[in-house]
A and B are shown apart, each in its own frame.
Chain A
């Protein structure tokens, strides 16, 4: 343990002093959380020809797709986009301190509550001037998604993807199954599949978020979009009879879900669909990433979650949307605005989709001629939706969904009988979380 290195003695005094000052500063800041902000932000001085951009796109496919957009923009405008890419999980975890420190001018983020939260905290710049130019490119639902609680725009959507029930065309054809649009047909299909020796619904909730998606679908089909939004915003009560009914509906199909879901990742669950051991799978279109074989991928199809209450039909589509925001005090605001205007065009979206075909354009002006049949269907589904939801952890407080809802739904999946005490516990915890900050 004893390493007496002489190097410590030969430190030049100025650096010693700055070091001390730095430590003093850190001590004053206390909690240590603000220290993290040092990780974010690139130290480049304001250069009129450069816009800095913080990106969470660290996976190779999206990373390249984004880089292509910025390269095209440089060609077009002569402005360099200086990208600062971080691992996507790290980016999400540190977003708080990142935005409070010295963030890049523009950063990648999600639509919905997650965007509104930072807008309301004053950590983003309203971009109404950007929307004056790009507004015509987007459908009404996207306008709604891009506004903060104060009615100003804060977000430029780039791409989106729907959640739906996926199945293999060949399996349905071989067994003579029909795509169900009504709840009773769906339950009957589950029964039939079980009889035929299939796992009716593939399911993997090891990462705790896939179950949130199932709840979303059942809740807005059963209780409607407005109630779903109220519930997510912490206004409606989790002990409401409507919520209880949604859980009862879920319990009805739970026996047809794949056994042992809490120990399985969504990737493994997708493999059971790919292997034709499971009949259906409720997930986002990214499930296609698990179909590495071209023939299997061509065999993949999906349908919208069936209608439960005819009053709401199938009018709501869960379609998480990713895009860009502007940080609170960008160094190069004029160019950042221009960049966002470009990112809101169908050209920019088209470049992205060329490298990442698992998603669809957020814009309605986009060229859809190169879409795969799956993409076309996804696009039509979103375009035809009356309301779009984002996904529970984007539509509600992330601290509530991650610390309360994720464990609660895992518990429900295992033990659907204990739903009453579970809902009471959710409601109690929700009250304290939504009461704070």
Chain B
């Protein structure tokens, strides 16, 4: 919103001179167009968000990059000590949770792209046909998206609880010998959580695709119907290609979801073995009574670098497209 404010205001202020009327009333010319008050307002509207942005985004980001090369327990600034690359060395070589965490973030992304995204597209296509009770289905699938991730975590724990949970109670897997530990077993727990994450993500994707589908020109469908295309052919050759912008949004949203995955896992089992995530490692090291802020920052920097690897190509592609347009 802030960037939009700064972009919009000069244009809004520049509208009057194009009309004929103000020219008469303000004979001094363009210089006096903005009164002191206007300039102050503009300055504040552009300045405040800029300062806030710099202070809360840039300064903190740069500070955590700087802190990644230090050790600091968070008590007093004089206890900050430079240690160079020590934190990263320790992270890459000694932390038994680091590489699993990187791997799990990647798995998170792949699973979200492969399972709930096509499912969301499928649901959107079905709902777009204006079938009966379409609103009801739409609400049902979208409901998980409205819920907070923490709540979803609690709900799914009731299902996965190995002793009293729904699944184990139904299939009788809560007895010794046949025991299935959905939450504790590192071979299972990540997938169990991903089911919950996909359950929510599918609804999210459905809404995005539904919006995209509503924007498809109906005449395209008519044209393909007149050409005698089957439903699948229409979708494959006509509708899906027009969803290209939506697909880009979906990809970006999914990457963001995979990198910021945190709340669900934190509620589920606090990132115990099998479900480690980078965001959880950052939190575990930074928040607490005697924190390792330097070390936690180093993990955050790794997360930032991974994000940049993903975001930079996207931005480059977007800007290139804009320049061409």
A residues whose Cβ falls under 8 Å from a Cβ of B: 1-4, 8-9, 11, 16, 19-20, 23-24, 26-27, 30-33, 92-93, 95-97, 100, 114, 117, 121, 123, 199, 205-208, 259-264, 268, 271-272, 397-399, 402-403, 407-408, 410-411, 414, 425, 428-429, 432-433, 436-437
Task: Tell me the bound Cα distance from A123 to B64 in angstroms.
Answer: 24
Given contacts A263-B269, A399-B292, A437-B73, contact A206 B183 (CB under 8 A): yes
Majority SS at the chain A contact face:
helix
B34-82 residues with Cβ-Cβ distance < 8 A to A are 41, 44-45, 48, 51-52, 54-56, 59-60, 63-64, 67, 71-76, 79, 81
- Say whether A27 contacts B59, CB under 8 Å: yes
- A31-B60, A114-B289, A399-B288 known; A97-B74 Cβ under 8 A: yes
Q: Complex Cα distance A260/B225, Å?
A: 57
* A183→B162 CA distance, assembly (Å): 31
> How far apart are the CA atoms of A97 and B293 in the complex, in Å?
13
Q: Which residues of A contact B72 (CB under 8 A)?
A: 437
Indicate whether B96 reaches chain A with its CB closer than 8 angstroms. yes
A205 to chain B, nearest CB (A): 8
Q: Is B260 an interface residue when CB atoms closer than 8 A count as contact?
A: no
The residues of B that contact A31 with a CB separation of less than 8 Å are 60, 63-64, 67, 293
Q: How far is A259 from B178 in the complex, measured between Cα atoms in Å? A: 10
Q: Does B179 contact A (CB under 8 A)?
A: yes
Report whether A123 and B75 are in contact in the complex, using a CB–CB cutoff of 8 Å: yes
Of A272, A402, A414, which one neighbours B273 at CB under 8 angstroms? A414
B290 engages A397 (CB within 8 Å):
yes
A30: chain B residues within 8 A (beta carbon): 59-60, 63
Q: Say whether A263 contacts B183, CB under 8 Å.
A: yes
CB distance from A129 to the nearest CB of B (A): 25
* Chain A residues positioned under 8 Å from B294 (CB to CB): 436
**Residue B263, interface by CB 8 Å:** no
Q: B70 to nearest A CB, angstroms?
A: 9
A433 touches B63 (CB 8 A): no
Please name 19 pairs of A and B residues whose Cβ atoms are closer than 8 Å in the assembled complex, sorted by A: A2-B1, A2-B8, A11-B44, A24-B51, A27-B54, A30-B60, A31-B60, A32-B63, A93-B289, A121-B76, A199-B176, A260-B162, A260-B181, A261-B184, A262-B272, A264-B162, A399-B291, A407-B97, A410-B273
Q: Are A23 and B52 in contact (CB under 8 A)?
A: yes
Counting chain B CB atoms within 10 Å of each CB, which of A268, A433, A437 scores highest? A437
Within 8 A of A (CB), among B172-217: 176, 179-186, 189
The answer to whether residues A399 and B273 also contact, given A260-B184, A436-B73 and a CB cut-off of 8 A, is no
Alpha-carbon distance between A33 and B160 when the two chains are bound, in angstroms: 36
Verify A411–B273 contact, CB threshold 8 A: yes
Residue of B nearest to A31 (CB): B63
CA A296 to CA B37, docked complex, whole Å: 75
Mark B residues whose CB is within 8 Å of A.
1, 4-5, 8, 41, 44-45, 48, 51-52, 54-56, 59-60, 63-64, 67, 71-76, 79, 81, 83, 86, 90, 94-97, 160-164, 176, 179-186, 189, 269-270, 272-273, 284-285, 287-294
Who on chain A is nearest to B44 by CB?
A: A16
Which residues of B lie under 8 Å from residue A414 when comparing CB positions? 184-186, 273
User: Which of A20, A93, A114 lies in contact with B287, CB distance below 8 A?
Assistant: A93
Question: Which of B86, B90, B184 is the most central at the interface, judged by chain A CB atoms within 10 Å of its CB?
Answer: B184
| Residues on B with beta carbons closer than 8 Å to the beta carbon of A93 | 287-289
Whether A407 lies near B273 (C-beta < 8 A) is yes
Q: What residues of chain A lie closer than 8 Å to B183, measured between beta carbons?
A: 206, 262-264
**How many whole Å from B270's CB to the nearest CB in chain A?**
7
* Minimum Cβ distance to chain A for residue B44 (Å): 7
A268 x B163 contact (CB < 8 A): yes
Chain B contacts for A263, CB-based, 8 A? 160-162, 181-185, 189, 269
Q: In the complex the two chains form, is A436's CB within 8 Å of B292's CB?
A: yes
Closest B residue to A20 using CB positions: B51
Are B292 and A33 in contact (CB-based, < 8 A)?
Answer: no
Q: Are A96 and B75 in contact (CB under 8 A)?
A: yes
Q: Name the A residues within 8 Å of B54 (CB-CB).
A: 27
Given contacts A96-B74, A414-B186, contact A262 B289 (CB under 8 A): no
Min CB distance A271 to B, Å, is: 8
Question: In the complex, what residues of B have CB within 8 A of residue A2's CB?
Answer: 1, 4, 8
Q: Which residue from chain B places its CB closest to the CB of A428 in the assembled complex?
A: B94
| Residues of chain B contacted by A26 (CB below 8 angstroms) | 55-56
